[in-house]
Structure 1
Amino acid sequence: VVMEHGDLVGMLTFREVIQTIVANGGQTGNATVRRAMDDHPLTCTAETDLDEVRRMMLDRHARYMPVMDKRMLMGVISFYDVAKAVVDSQNFENKMLKAYIRDWPEEDTNG
């Protein structure tokens, strides 16, 4: 995350570094963070729904997203974090459904 005077101005990840090296024929050359970074990174807040974060990350092929509270950087969420939360939620739902099915009352066949 690249901050300048308290403002988010960009994001530099391994992807941007590799893109810069490829664009420079395998060298870093005179590359700077400012020229290599994504100067319009996706951001979210701590209140953003995880499904929305997942959709935004998939749409932009982003692996990391700064979590902001107005101008303050609160942290960075990764695609792994989002995927893990989705899987954990699905596992919990799966366990609840299995318990519901297991506890289903038997039908009275003598009726």
Structure 2
Amino acid sequence: MKTVAQILQAKAHQHVVHSIAPGATMLDALRVMAEHNVGALLVLDEGHLLGIVSERDYARKGVLQGRSSIGTLVSEIMSVPVISVSPRQSIRECMTLMTDRHLRHLPVLDNGELLGLLSIGDLIKETLAEQDGLIQHLEQYIRGE
């Protein structure tokens, strides 16, 4: 089973981690999410990971509490502490963590340095690719190839 580092390496050419400052408004955050078609942003202050803010956070901590997207700061809505993974962890470990904690995004940190962001979609895509490869290998084995 592949590691987080291998997944990040494979998607490095197509993936940029989108972020926002803690002092930005939720309206700004929603605009950035919409512009990049992502469901969450890392909240960074001078390169330091402070939190993560998602559409789910806004719905539950903003809209349902009657907060305005214009008057609410990202820092008021963001999820903290941030649950993260290391590049050495496996896909299975990440999927278990996401399932148990009801997460859709996992920042990848190595000794405090932000390396990337994994989504549940990234992990499902990789799991399906591994299963397809295994099925193909078994079919070839059965046919004697």
Q: Give the TM-score band, short-chain normalised.
A: 0.7 to 0.9
Could you say which residue in structure 1 is the equivalent of 2:52?
A: 11
Separation in 2 of the partners of 1:28 and 1:7? 24
Please tell me whether residue 83 in structure 1 is matched to residue 124 in structure 2. yes
Whether 1:69 aligns to 2:110 is yes
The one-character-per-residue Cα deviations of 1:84-105 (angstroms, maximum 9, x if unpaired) are: 111110110000110100108x
Identity across the alignment (%): 25
Where does structure 1 lack aligned partners over 5 or more consecutive residues? 105-111
1:12-56 CA distance string (max 9 Å, x none): 01111111112216x436321111000112101111111000000
The structure 1 segments of at least 4 consecutive aligned residues displaced by more than 4 Å after TM superposition are: none
In structure 1, what is the Cα distance between the partners aligned to 2:69 and 2:63?
A: 5
Which amino acid is 1:23 matched to? Q
1:65 is matched by which residue type in structure 2?
A: L
Q: Which runs of 5+ in 2 are unaligned?
A: 1-41
CA 1:74–1:44 in 2, change beyond 3 Å: closer, same or farther?
A: same
TM-score (normalizing by structure 2): 0.65
In 2, the alpha carbon distance for the partners of 1:85 and 1:10 equals 26
Q: Distance in 1 between matches of 2:44 and 2:86?
A: 17
Compare CA radii of gyration and give the structure with the larger one.
1
Q: Does structure 2 retain, via aligned residues, the 8 Å contact 1:6–1:71? A: no
CA RMSD after TM alignment: 1.7
Which structure has more RCO (C-alpha within 8 Å, separation ≥ 6)? Answer: 2
Greater Cα shift, 4-13 or 36-45:
4-13
Q: Which amino acid aligns with 2:99?
A: L
Code of the residue aligned with 1:89 in structure 2: it is E
CA contact (8 A) 1:45 1:69 kept: yes
Q: Give 2:139's aligned residue.
A: 98
- The code of the aligned residue for 1:91 comes to D
Q: Do residues 45 (structure 1) and 111 (structure 2) align?
A: no
| Alpha-carbon distance in structure 2 between the residues aligned to 1:70 and 1:21 | 36
